[in-house]
Amino acid sequence: MMQQAVPPSEPLLAVDDLVVEYPVGQRTVHAVSGVSLQIARGETLGLVGESGCGKSTLGRAVLQLRRPTSGRVLFDGHDLTAMQGDALRMMRRRVQLIFQDPIASLNPRRKIGDIVAEPLVIAGIKDAEKRRELVYEVLSAVGLDPALVVGRLPHEFSGGQCQRICIARALILNPEFIVCDEPVSALDVSIRAQILNLLEEMKGRFGLTLLFIAHDLAVVKAVSDRVAVMYLGRLCEVGPSEQLFARPAHPYTALLIEAIPVPDPDIRPAVSVPVGEPPSPIAPPSGCRFRTRCPRADAQCSKEVPELRAVAPGQFAACHHPLI
Amino acid sequence: MSGNTLLSVEDVTVDLPTPRGNLRAVDRVNLTVGAGQTLGIVGESGCGKTMLSRAILQLLPKKAKLSGRVMFDGQDLFQLPAERLRRLRGRSLAVVFQDPMTSLNPVLTIGTQLIETLQEHLELDDATASRRSVELLTAVGIPAPEQRLGQYPHQLSGGMRQRVAIAIALSCEPKLLIADEPTTALDVTIQAQILDLLAREQRRRHMAMIIITHDLGVVAGRTDDVAVMYAGRVVERAPTPALFKKMRMPYTEALLAALPKLDAAPHTPLPAISGRPPDPTRPLQGCSFSPRCRYAAARCKNEKPALTEAESREHQYACFYPIEVHAEAGA
Ligand SMILES: Nc1ncnc2c1ncn2[C@@H]1O[C@H](COP(=O)(O)OP(=O)(O)OP(=O)(O)O)[C@@H](O)[C@H]1O
Ligand SMILES: Nc1ncnc2c1ncn2[C@@H]1O[C@H](COP(=O)(O)OP(=O)(O)OP(=O)(O)O)[C@@H](O)[C@H]1O
Ligand code: SF4
Ligand code: SF4
Ligand SMILES: [Mg+2]
Ligand SMILES: [Mg+2]
């Protein structure tokens, strides 16, 4: 449906007008409302936005862990939303998910060796020796000493080590595409840098394509070729990382960039960040969903939903009054 | 540092008995905070930031062994009777934790919690206390404050809850506010709002503040002084501009370098600090940072550098081979 936001080459993943809604009682949470995007093979697309804007919902719907209300998800030309049962299970081997909270996403009672081997078991690889071999290989790849870790339990590891284990588990079936859902948000500055470097290294080594979700633009920029900015269920802006940072077109992107803490005492923190929080996705504002916090909002913004439009080569923004 | 010292932490050590042996969470820390000043305490997870703030507040786990002295507003906190201490805590010494639910009571409404705090410490009548509550919620940027008074914490977003926790902390006009990673659990935009809010209230009330974080970016524009902690000790301490202009401790430099830089091209590898801090139950004989330090030499393995007054009276660091040529100070 949307011809915009086209990546440089043939997409591995194409999300088309995706809608995900959650019923809560009599009402509906409009978590993802008509998102379209594409990711080229070998590309990292960063996805940023505030808490609750629908990033995880989008990531899970892409992998069909939550069936979308409407819209299509094309993976390597196959429509995942139309797939069921075995066909879907086969496709799932090619895609993986890494979560924000590494400790919580590991079963506390299972040994690391079993946790990492689990996808192999599910995939029906019965040869225990073969499994052990693959587990050792992937644990070494993520920088852990297999002999030291396979027999231990998750609580014996730090947050950073747990995230390495999660990454190993995600890599073991040799996937092509991984959704990384805030993989470093729970980690402190130094461990964060280690894990970001590891993801980059693994991406090169395994030829991965990534959807990298985070709420910190600086982190996203460090690993992404292109960045998509999301607000209250909709995409605001998509573009090549550096270009987006140098010249954001959407007022919300500009706000996110301003909010990044800069380690320089001469730069006084911005005070223009508007007080107030995103409105409820149960009753999103009419027109542009960002209008209740936008300094440029006018009458048109409350009436018409802005569509994604090209504002520069490869850069698209959904705004009636873009900054560029 | 201004001449008017409000808080002075003197040789404070916190030991925790654990099944693996004694764990020294805080190791002979000395710090001062002047009235109306802001101090940032920065360091990796587990370096003792929270234990130090809990030592100041006298909110340590029961089994903890504490030594040293903490003088606050002319009183020796370690010698104060429990009742006096409790009154002091709500009143002139306030705290905001990383997880707002640590300080909020889930079964009481926001209004009840604010009003109770105000009445307990300031002996206000009901009408005045509830008017003050509304003023406080307004001050921390909560829309429709009258309605919020009747809501429970779980009905608010994380950012809102932290604002409420700040409102409660500010309610009795404290002289010192300790904010322990007040924004780590929050989004970048909400983080910026909360930090701005704290800075504004701090100036307006001429309140002193300690901001604890693992992100040097958070303290850069918002503090007067910075103390960098590693493995329970303060390893560098300086007025904020001096620290960023000329950091001397390799650990401080490494912490700064590990931050993603906005002006770096995507896919630039980050100079991560390899490895992890030492096991606090197995203290090293030499410099605690030596296994990870790229400048480490033989002496570093055998001897522990003291926090000496080398750069200037205000700028101290604990290192035998401080950085001479200063690397670029980040973004
Ligand atoms: N199972 C569910 N039932 C009802 N509402 C839900 C459910 N899961 C998520 N939501 C709501 O959908 C919206 C989007 O949530 P989502 O978790 O996708 O956001 P997010 O961008 O990942 O946020 P965060 O940064 O906090 O992880 C939120 O308003 C959330 O409260
Ligand atoms: N209740 C406790 N009992 C025993 N050890 C503890 C306890 N709480 C913390 N510790 C240990 O004390 C040391 C210092 O912990 P502290 O919580 O002060 O670190 P921190 O710098 O605040 O870290 P973070 O950034 O993760 O909050 C750590 O080694 C920690 O494991
Ligand atoms: S469409 Fe209007 S309200 Fe929305 S971002 Fe643009 S200017 Fe702001
Ligand atoms: S004392 Fe040695 S090991 Fe420690 S920080 Fe200085 S140079 Fe590095
Ligand atoms: Mg999420
Ligand atoms: Mg802490």
**Structure letter (DSSP) for residue B273:** P
Cross-chain CB nearest to B45 (options A188, A219, A242)? A188
Give mean pLDDT, residues B77-85.
Answer: 92
The rounded Cα A68 to chain-centroid distance in angstroms is: 16
* CA gap B244, B233 in Å, rounded: 20
The answer to whether the CB of A230 falls within 8 A of the CB of A284 is no
The rounded Cα A313 to chain-centroid distance in angstroms is: 23
Q: Give how many domains chain B has, as a whole number.
A: 2
pLDDT of res. A322: 97
Q: Are residues B83 and B140 in the same domain?
A: no
Contact B272 A190 (CB under 8 A): yes
Q: Judged by CB atoms within 8 Å, which residues 112-171 of A form the interface with B?
A: 158-160
pLDDT of res. B256: 93
Q: Are residues B268 and B122 in the same domain?
A: no
Q: Are residues B68 and B184 in the same domain?
A: yes
Handedness of CA A82, A84, A88, A90 (dihedral sign): negative
Output b/e per residue, A234-265; b: 16+ Cβ within 10 A: bbbbbbbbbbbbeebbbbbbbbbbbbbbbbbb
pLDDT of res. B309: 72
Is B268 a pocket residue for ligand 2 (Cβ < 6 Å)? Answer: no
Which range of A32-46, A208-222, A269-283, B98-112 scores highest in mean pLDDT? It is A32-46
Among B88, B82, B157, B151, which Cα is nearest to B114's?
B151
Lookup: tokens for A104? 């919580």
Is B304 a pocket residue for ligand 4 (Cβ < 6 Å)? Answer: no
Q: Are residues B218 and B116 in the same domain?
A: no
* CA gap B305, B303 in Å, rounded: 6
- Greater confidence (B307 vs A277) lies with B307
pLDDT of res. B268: 93
Q: Are residues B44 and B160 in the same domain?
A: no
Q: Are residues B279 and B151 in the same domain?
A: no
Sheet of strand B38-42: strand arrangement: B93-96, B176-180, B208-213, B38-42, B225-230, B233-239, B316-317
What ipTM describes this predicted complex?
A: 0.83
The answer to whether the CB of A156 falls within 8 A of the CB of A164 is no
Q: Within a domain: residue B274? A: yes
Q: What is the pLDDT of residues A52-97, one digit of tens each?
A: 899 999 999 999 999 999 999 999 999 999 999 889 988 888 999 9
Contact A193 B214 (CB under 8 A): no
Lookup: tokens for B331? 């973004």
Residue with tokens 């693992």: B214
Domain residue limits at B167: 103-171
Domains of chain A, start order: 11-94+173-317 (3.40.50.300), 109-172 (no CATH)
pLDDT of res. A308: 96
The answer to whether the CB of A302 falls within 8 A of the CB of A286 is yes
Q: Within a domain: residue B199? A: yes
Q: Are residues B244 and B270 in the same domain?
A: yes
pLDDT of res. B325: 56
Q: Tell me, what CATH number does B276's domain have?
A: 3.40.50.300
* CA gap A71, A79 in Å, rounded: 10
Among A62, A57, A55, which Cα is nearest to A88's?
A62
**Rg of the Cα atoms in chain A:** 20
In this predicted structure, which of A75-84, A282-291, B35-44, B194-203 has the lowest mean pLDDT? Answer: B194-203
Q: What is the pLDDT of residues B289-316, one digit of tens each?
A: 999 999 999 999 999 999 987 778 899 9
| Closest CA to ligand 4's atom 1 | B319
Is B18 a pocket residue for ligand 2 (Cβ < 6 Å)? Answer: yes
Is B295 a pocket residue for ligand 4 (Cβ < 6 Å)? Answer: yes
- Picking from B134, B155, B171, the residue at the C-terminal end of a domain is B171
Q: Within a domain: residue B299? A: yes
At B319, is the pLDDT very low, low, confident or very high (cuts 50, 70, 90)? very high
Q: How many CA atoms lie within 13 A of B39 on its CB side?
A: 28
Residues of A in contact with B45 (CB under 8 A): 159, 188, 191
- The answer to whether residue B331 scores a pLDDT higher than 50 is no
Q: Are residues B58 and B188 in the same domain?
A: yes
B286 in contact with chain A, both atoms CB, cutoff 8 A: no
Q: Please give all residues whose CB falls under 5 A of ion ligand 5, grouped by chain where several chains appear.
A: A 56
Lookup: tokens for B62? 């029961």
In this predicted structure, which of A143-152, B128-137, B307-316 has the lowest mean pLDDT? Answer: B307-316
- The answer to whether residue A1 scores a pLDDT higher than 70 is no
Q: Are residues B166 and B180 in the same domain?
A: no
- DSSP E strands in B46-151: the ranges are 65-72, 75-76, 93-96
- Picking from B146, B171, B196, the residue at the C-terminal end of a domain is B171
Q: Are residues B242 and B207 in the same domain?
A: yes
Q: Within a domain: residue B98? A: no
Give the CA dihedral A7, A10, A16, A21, nearest 10 degrees: -80
The answer to whether the CB of B256 falls within 8 A of the CB of A262 is no
* Encoded amino acid at A258, one letter: E
B242 in contact with chain A, both atoms CB, cutoff 8 A: no
In this predicted structure, which of A97-101, A136-140, B20-24, B92-96 has the lowest mean pLDDT? Answer: A97-101
Residue with tokens 């947050």: A159
Q: Within a domain: residue B79? A: yes
CA distances from B125 to A205, B147, B170 (A): 68, 20, 19
CA distances from A42 to A177, A178, A193, A225, B36 (A): 9, 11, 21, 10, 52
Q: Are residues B322 and B189 in the same domain?
A: yes
* Predicted TM-score (pTM) of this structure: 0.87
Rounded to the nearest 5°, which phi and psi values hold at A310?
A: -65, 130
Output b/e per residue, A172-208; b: 16+ Cβ within 10 A: bbebbbbbbbbbbbbbbbbbbbbbbbbbbebbeeeeb
Q: Are residues B197 and B154 in the same domain?
A: no
Q: Within a domain: residue B284? A: yes
Q: Within a domain: residue B310? A: yes
Contact A190 B193 (CB under 8 A): no
- Picking from B151, B171, B191, the residue at the C-terminal end of a domain is B171
Q: Within a domain: residue B97? A: no
Chain A interface, mutation test: which of B160, B188, B246, most A Cβ atoms within 10 Å?
B188
Is A284 a pocket residue for ligand 1 (Cβ < 6 Å)? Answer: no
